[in-house]
Structure 1
Amino acid sequence: MNKRDFIQFSFLSSVFIQTGCFNHSTQNKTMRLIGSGKVNGGWVLSAVDTEGNPIFQHALPSRAHHISKNIDQSKGLVIARRPGNYARLFESKTGQTIKEISAPDGHFYFGHSCFTSNEIFICTGNSKSLGKISVYDLDLNFKYFIELNNFGPHQIEALDDNTIAIAVGGLKTIDRKILNLDDFNSEVIIVDTLDKKIIHSYKIDNQNLSLRHLHVFNNQLVVAAQIPDREYLFDDLTTPLIYVLNNKKLEPLKHPNWNAFNQYIASISFNDNQLVATSPKGNTLSIWNYIDNQFKFSEQLEFIDVAGVTQFEQQSFWSTGTGVIASQINKTIKIKQTKIHWDNHWNAFYD
């Protein structure tokens, strides 16, 4: 076994591994795991079932990133990652395009969006202005901007129909070069979509970290950070990279070795049972169990280039840039190799 294979299937905790298909019970619900990725040099929107079998695959103009879903999960939105400028509304069962649009003039998309029952919100920006939220109706017709007072809005999720949460990285860039590395302002902001204004802003003590990815479940918010200076690693292994919003303060999670993430977290997902965070740069993912209203570290797993993660009831799914998809339930992990080099984010659609 070569080193790459060894890392792919070596684990820091005791789990049971099975290769091949994975088909744990989803209580008779039909589920589709949808993400974007690369196949034979071309970008695609892809869906697989819970056994890893393909459901649909459609070509995309360029790299896409996050997949968001509407309230009844009948539709999804796949959105370009900077420097792309397209967003595509599609039927979640077939992947067929409903409508595709381009970013407003002079703007690009940051790769993330969210739905409420009334509107669609997309993180938008350009190299000359502060970040904005582009607001659309549910048919993807542009309505208006919500102005933000910072650079680099990234992942966005709805708290309810009237408020959205945004992880703002704070970095001003041109052609991916950071212009304000020595003086950037990263935060999580809460926006009132009715009044179109920021109503809360939350920061962490360590302002060397850029907050980029977040997840909301049952109105609880968790946010992940990264170190924007890739030449620097913290010597202190206790420097936290994940924070939970409690009592109007971002409180750090505990982890035995935060440097395992190699200063970058690609995706986070949590539910009533656990939280999962992935790092393609660290070739690892971590799992925290949710016990007594607290996230408690459980286990560390190693997968080459792991990034996408989503959860459904008691089951977790993740994907890698090498084409592996994995499923875990009750300490049993099942894996399957696909031909898709998955991008950073996944989402589970079910009906």
Structure 2
Amino acid sequence: MATRRGFLAGLIASGIAPAATWADAGNPSFLSAARTPDGAYVLVGLDGQGAERFRIPLPTRGHAAAAHPTRPHAVAFARRPGTYAVVLDCQSGDVIARLNSPSGRHFYGHGTFDATGDLLFTTENDYELGQGRIGVWDARHGYVRVTEMPSNGVGPHDLRLMPDGTLVVANGGIDTHPASGREKLNIPTMRPNLSYLEFDGRLIEQIEPDDHLASIRHLSVRADGLVAVGMQWQGDMATSPPLVATHSRNGPMQYMGDGVEVEGYVGSVAFSGDGSRVAITSPRAGEAQIFEAASGAILERMSNRDVCGVSALGRDMVLTNGAGQVYQLAGDASLLSSHDLSWDNHLVAVGNV
């Protein structure tokens, strides 16, 4: 009788072996970059209970990650501004590819795959021209760079895939240059925007926030195309406007959280799985907040030092903080797990959780 090992060996020899899936990497629900107690950096896979499924070394501090829709591949981006990203096989821990930004560019810490997983899109800065770019990489053939397109703004940070297959980009509006470190070079004249793009770079629609000092940074997209926006204030804190909004194509920004203090900084934003709620975090304020998506009314608040990562778990939300803790927020906050890690900014969902 043929053994399973022999059967698989035959499939491999014939070139028709089944492709690995996220189940082969422990079926993680989330990805997060983190720092270990000895100062090393890792990418970690977590399940829905906050348990660790894998831990893979990173060369330097990570920021966010992009999860392939089917294969157990994660693209880990360096903390912005960074010139590299690594594509990791989360089953084996191997580095599949290293993405290097073209000369005169740096990454902004975020990327997304198309629905098939064939293409990867990355936010980038052409720092000599002070213009945003979207890099396009072929995931089918070794993650080679195939083209690029304008982000239609300055300082693109986050970008997401829309349900119709187009892209939405958070152009933060802030110009930076490596010669000046992380110094913000154009605050008086900055113009952030939310841009919707075709894959060929054609601008479909663009909208700016009500105040040009509200830098659009992070995004979440609902199944019907509603976009949740998290912003960071670049002006006097005494005059900070609401920094959370939603946007539907061909409509205005709908702001929420008026009077809610986030110390000018929204670190992450996420819709709940059913789309009825929007969660934000502010590590500066030490708060997570949940709003009703339809009305903008605040529903829940959680005080938690250095909380920043947030993602949906069904109708509830999962949050991470710099102390290595993982919480579930569902009416009351419950501690799911604690780790010997300092979680970085973002908690990235893998598939549908």
Q: Give the shorter-chain TM-score range.
A: 0.7 to 0.9
The AA in structure 2 aligned to 1:37 is A
CA contact (8 A) 2:320 2:327 kept: yes
Q: CA deviation at 1:249?
A: 3.0
CA deviation profile, 1:10-34 (whole Å, cap 9, x unmatched): xxxxxxxxxxxxxxxxxxx944321
The AA in structure 1 aligned to 2:303 is E
Q: CA deviation at 1:339?
A: 1.4
Structure 1: segments with no counterpart, 5+ residues: 1-28
Aligned twin of 1:227:
233
- Greater Rg by CA: 2
CA contact (8 A) 2:288 2:302 kept: yes
Aligned twin of 1:310:
311
Q: Does 1:187 align with 2:184?
A: no
Separation in 2, partners of 1:225, 1:266:
8
CA deviation profile, 1:110-155 (whole Å, cap 9, x unmatched): 0000010241100011421211111011241100110234220000
Aligned twin of 1:58:
56
User: Larger % of strand: which?
Assistant: 1
Residue correspondence of structure 1 range 257-268 to structure 2 within 5 A: 257-258=259-260, 260-268=261-269
Q: Does 1:34 align with 2:34?
A: no
Tell me which of 51, 65, 68 is aligned to 1:67.
65
| SS of equivalent to 1:264 | coil
| SS of equivalent to 1:177 | coil
Aligned twin of 2:12:
none
The AA in structure 2 aligned to 1:72 is T
Aligned twin of 1:201:
206
Aligned twin of 1:136:
137
Aligned twin of 2:219:
214
Aligned twin of 1:343:
344
TM-score under structure 2 length normalisation: 0.83
Structure 2: segments with no counterpart, 5+ residues: 1-25
CA contact (8 A) 2:63 2:80 kept: no
| SS of equivalent to 2:346 | strand
Q: Does 1:123 align with 2:120?
A: no
| SS of equivalent to 1:178 | coil
Separation in 2, partners of 1:337, 1:212:
28
Aligned twin of 2:326:
325
Equivalent pairs counted in the alignment come to 315
CA contact (8 A) 1:241 1:252 kept: no
Aligned twin of 1:11:
none
Separation in 1, partners of 2:253, 2:105:
34
Separation in 1, partners of 2:315, 2:208:
32
CA contact (8 A) 2:56 2:90 kept: no
The AA in structure 1 aligned to 2:227 is L
CA contact (8 A) 2:84 2:107 kept: yes
TM-score under structure 1 length normalisation: 0.83
Residue correspondence of structure 1 range 6-155 to structure 2 within 5 A: 30-39=27-36, 40-72=38-70, 74-93=72-91, 95-116=93-114, 117=116, 118-129=118-129, 130-138=131-139, 139-155=142-158
User: Larger % of helix: which?
Assistant: 2
CA contact (8 A) 2:64 2:76 kept: yes
CA contact (8 A) 1:86 1:109 kept: yes
Residue identity (%): 23
Q: CA deviation at 1:94?
A: 5.2
CA contact (8 A) 1:66 1:111 kept: yes
CA contact (8 A) 1:92 1:349 kept: no
Q: CA deviation at 1:212?
A: 0.9
| SS of equivalent to 1:204 | coil
The AA in structure 1 aligned to 2:120 is I
CA contact (8 A) 2:191 2:213 kept: no
Separation in 2, partners of 1:247, 1:216:
12
Q: CA deviation at 1:160?
A: 4.2
- Indicate the structure whose relative CO is greater, using CA pairs within 8 Å and at least 6 residues apart: 1
Aligned twin of 1:9:
none
The AA in structure 2 aligned to 1:305 is D
Change in 2 beyond 3 A, CA 1:180/1:167: same
Separation in 2, partners of 1:149, 1:235:
28
CA deviation profile, 1:285-341 (whole Å, cap 9, x unmatched): 101134xx4443101111101111111212311111122211133545224321111
CA contact (8 A) 1:212 1:225 kept: yes
| SS of equivalent to 2:257 | coil
Q: CA deviation at 1:95?
A: 4.4
Q: CA deviation at 1:81?
A: 2.1
Separation in 2, partners of 1:274, 1:81:
28
